[in-house]
Structure 1
């Protein structure tokens, strides 16, 4: 029998308090397992586009991955068609504990696709949730959404989702306009109001930067659990009280899981950047950025971690003195403060000797000027090592006069565009580029005799 509401919450999810949020391309299997090690009790998959998931096997195989220990697990879909979302959900019904409908994605892709926070038709939303509720045989449907400017409208929206059949509601305390630099603070008062007006479990999302925030949110909103997204990305041990997780240790653990459960390098690079965020704010460690960007294999990640360990060890006194947004040494994983106003007072930033982006640009321009207009890549290398020399290529024939790669087999050792131009101007040919030699087709004009 399919359970609903608090029966589902207590018997299947085991009354969790700490939940890992669904994150596009970021809450993949290795990261979910790592987060579980540090206190996450329920995890969500990344958001899947139901229409693409339904028809594209490559998309499914690349993004949907789970294993026996990855439970309780909620699979999240976005979409605006009841039948499409249902068909996609039925494909994974036996691999998870619930299906979640994303009604909170604020990104432009959601605006173009008319889903997430931009699915404004309440009748369609009701039909999608009701369709999932009526047709999923063994698991319930849940919903995650953002608040509106008006608390009354927000409560009415939540009650509509409950009536449609949502077994659990997750509320992000920001509106869809609050994103990126305009994120600001999540409104916990609206979350508290929703908790009072519905009878199903409610999960709060927003303003969770450290474990004390979790405790404060549970106390002030009276919700059943707290969910974290960005805070967890910077610190996978966010749900573990009194745990200071070193960045290098977190990378090692995550890398070990990636060996066991292969994942995309783009996901891995994004995670490494997040965990190293506070370290990368200082000039001493700027060289790591390029290394992370150029990582292509797990072996490259291992080398990066060893380089990071050496850099932190060689600058131990500096590292211990410099702190991140959570006032911990930059050697530890810690959340990043993105919002303005009150949050900056709560978590002041102290970053002496920070190397600003403008300073970096000016320095690179100066290096290029001093070294005869060298490339930007060479300037970055010279910034790290002023003594570095650059040798000219031993294979100059690899490039055309326009600096584009030469075409293999070209009779004139040029790229396709330059070769064709030459053939037309000089009336010559090139077999590689299918240009025929232009032969004279007219004889010289004969002398005209008069009379």
Structure 2
């Protein structure tokens, strides 16, 4: 039977899905997908599978995809990074998704980043030929709009023409505190340039954002990712009991996000949550949180009381100014250092300049008489049977009763 093409695939297999929960590393397990579907999601993705482990480990396959078939969890798209893993997964899902722009380390190790177009084109074409289910692709926008469009068109030609394309409106460098806003302009340009369905990804925190995204990107399809802070924690735990396997590590990661605002107030519960290792212990922490929140009033600065799940916007990093007046940002680690030492200066223009070793590029040794670091000077001294008069510890030991030759080694 021929694979469905483009919009026919979207209409028949994906049931014209408009509300889609994006794949999230270690956080798109069955329980979370079922919870999301209860609250309106029409299509879900599995987490990105670790392809090598999926191929060699039967237990990993069973826990992440081969569990009892759940009709409530369809349609379902699986993220698999290599062909061997995709062949093992294709009978348990409706399509295989290739994440070509994920900034997570699991994707970088697999080489699935969007820099090598020829390699990606060959890979997608081969997968399209070998798999019995359609191929979908997810990309992050490039800095240049026209180049983003050409990139999407290349993927369409390579084999994505049978299915759909998801466009994340952020670059691969927009992550963590540098996440910023997604560019819907890039998504709109891609949608106009290709002849396959396009899912929009980015800037979705509330249901009202969905319709605004549809209007601005020009189509009735969107890709939901910002749901980690919204579903109800207690309901998630109930769903997890009925949809094993559910690991405490997944649950704890979800609860940290769902309770983000509450844990800023009840920091001792954050410590308790970090320590527990079983589902029963996690349920106890959830009970303690519920009891504390029953009599509280909402905290200022939030649209809703802190105990109600709601979006979390990453704050910008701390800033400092260079001597030229340019403003830059600080990582969390540097912010902690600055809190301990308010006068600490992280400006690279103020850092001391070191002479580099001529051989390895490390800083030159302070007591070494040539332009080498201490390690390279030691190797040179032993090789030439010479002393470094500025650093006695680098003098070669005597051998065979003969003392080392006292020479100043040159920089040649």
**TM norm structure 2:** 0.73
2:97 to 97, 100, 103: 100
2:272 to 276, 291, 314: 291
Unaligned runs of 5+ in 1: 79-84, 237-249, 342-356, 363-451
* Counterpart position of 1:417: none
Matches within 5 A, 1:261-272: 261-272=244-255
Provide the rounded CA distance (Å) in 2 between the counterparts of 1:128 and 1:67. 31
Q: Deviations over 1:332-389 (max 9, x none)?
A: 1111112659xxxxxxxxxxxxxxx98xx99xxxxxxxxxxxxxxxxxxxxxxxxxxx
Provide the rounded CA distance (Å) in 1 between the counterparts of 2:139 and 2:174. 13
Provide the rounded CA distance (Å) in 2 between the counterparts of 1:115 and 1:59. 21
* Counterpart position of 2:10: 9
Report the RMSD for the aligned CA atoms in angstroms: 2.0
**Aligned partner of residue 139 in structure 2, secondary structure:** strand
Matches within 5 A, 1:417-428: none
Provide the rounded CA distance (Å) in 1 between the counterparts of 2:270 and 2:29. 23
**Aligned partner of residue 43 in structure 1, secondary structure:** strand
User: Does the 8 Å contact 2:50/2:106 carry over to 1?
Assistant: no
Q: Deviations over 1:155-193 (max 9, x none)?
A: 001001111111100000111111111111111100000
* Counterpart position of 1:228: 224
User: Does the 8 Å contact 2:63/2:245 carry over to 1?
Assistant: no
User: Does the 8 Å contact 1:279/1:331 carry over to 2?
Assistant: yes
Provide the rounded CA distance (Å) in 2 between the counterparts of 1:306 and 1:313. 11
**Aligned partner of residue 233 in structure 1, secondary structure:** coil
* Counterpart position of 2:405: none
* Counterpart position of 1:445: none
Q: Deviations over 1:242-288 (max 9, x none)?
A: xxxxxxxx222111222221222111100000000011122xx1111
* Counterpart position of 1:86: 83
* Counterpart position of 1:140: 134
**TM norm structure 1:** 0.67
User: Does the 8 Å contact 1:217/1:226 carry over to 2?
Assistant: yes
Matches within 5 A, 1:390-429: none
User: Does the 8 Å contact 1:106/1:116 carry over to 2?
Assistant: no
1:151 to 127, 136, 145: 145
**Aligned partner of residue 46 in structure 1, secondary structure:** strand
Q: State whether structure 2 residue 62 is matched by structure 1 residue 74.
A: no
Deviation at 1:292, TM superposition (A): 0.9
Answer with 1 or 2: which has the greater Rg: 1
Paired residues, what number? 315
**Aligned partner of residue 49 in structure 2, secondary structure:** strand
Q: State whether structure 2 residue 46 is matched by structure 1 residue 45.
A: yes
* Misfit runs of 4+, over 6 Å: none
Provide the rounded CA distance (Å) in 2 between the counterparts of 1:339 and 1:212. 22
**Aligned partner of residue 142 in structure 1, secondary structure:** strand
